[in-house]
Amino acid sequence: MAPPRTLKLLLSACLLCLATACGVDIRQSTAAFGTDSGGSAGAPAKPATAPAAGELQFGAEHRFTSGITVSVSAPVSFQPSAAAYPRSPRAASFAVEVRNDGSDTYRLSGLAITAAIGGQQAKQVVDATQGLGGVTDASKDLLPGRSAQFTIAFAVPAQAARLELWLRPSAGEPAVVSYGGTA
């Protein structure tokens, strides 16, 4: 029998292939628009003059067919502490709210949040010193009518750059909502 580590790696590879095969191109269902950071570190980015038709602004809510409603704040630029991983000269944090407006219980562990800068995947910053640990209470169940809030951060270049942020409520949900702007 194969050692447990081999089984875990095999299972992980199978799940990755399945997710890739069943996934939706996140760029097909985007709702992104530009913003201008123009402010100092620690300040939210200023919104662009007007979003394109059908696009969401940071702060706007999006309700998925499952009844899960999400909203993402404008990015807040900050300098990660020396204890942060990965090391980055700058990061952008986002306040995320997930509300269960559906009739079924929702498990937060199903939520997937990814980001990209200039087409390259951005790395999530974990900085316990600043209270950034990703999705808190990921194993928590959200009963209908309840909500959860957390802050998530991604490494960004030292200079302002366009960042796209995608949220998918679960692997079984084909829809993805996209937020975008300068971070």
The 10s digit of each residue's pLDDT in 117-150 is 988 999 999 998 888 887 777 778 999 999 999 9
Is the per-residue pLDDT at 90 higher than 50? Answer: yes
pTM of this structure: 0.69
Q: Per-residue confidence at 101, pLDDT binned at 50, 70, 90?
A: very high
**Mean pLDDT, to the nearest integer, of 80-101?**
94
Find the range with the poorest average confidence among 71-75, 143-147, 159-163, 169-173: 169-173
Residue 105 vs residues 68, 94, 124, 176: alpha-carbon distances, Å: 10, 25, 27, 20
Q: How far apart are the first and last CA of the chain?
A: 49
Domain boundaries, the chain: 26-182
Determine whether domain 26-182 maps to CATH 2.60.40.1240: yes
139 close to 105: Cβ distance less than 8 angstroms: no
CA atoms of 51 and 153, how far apart (whole Å): 23
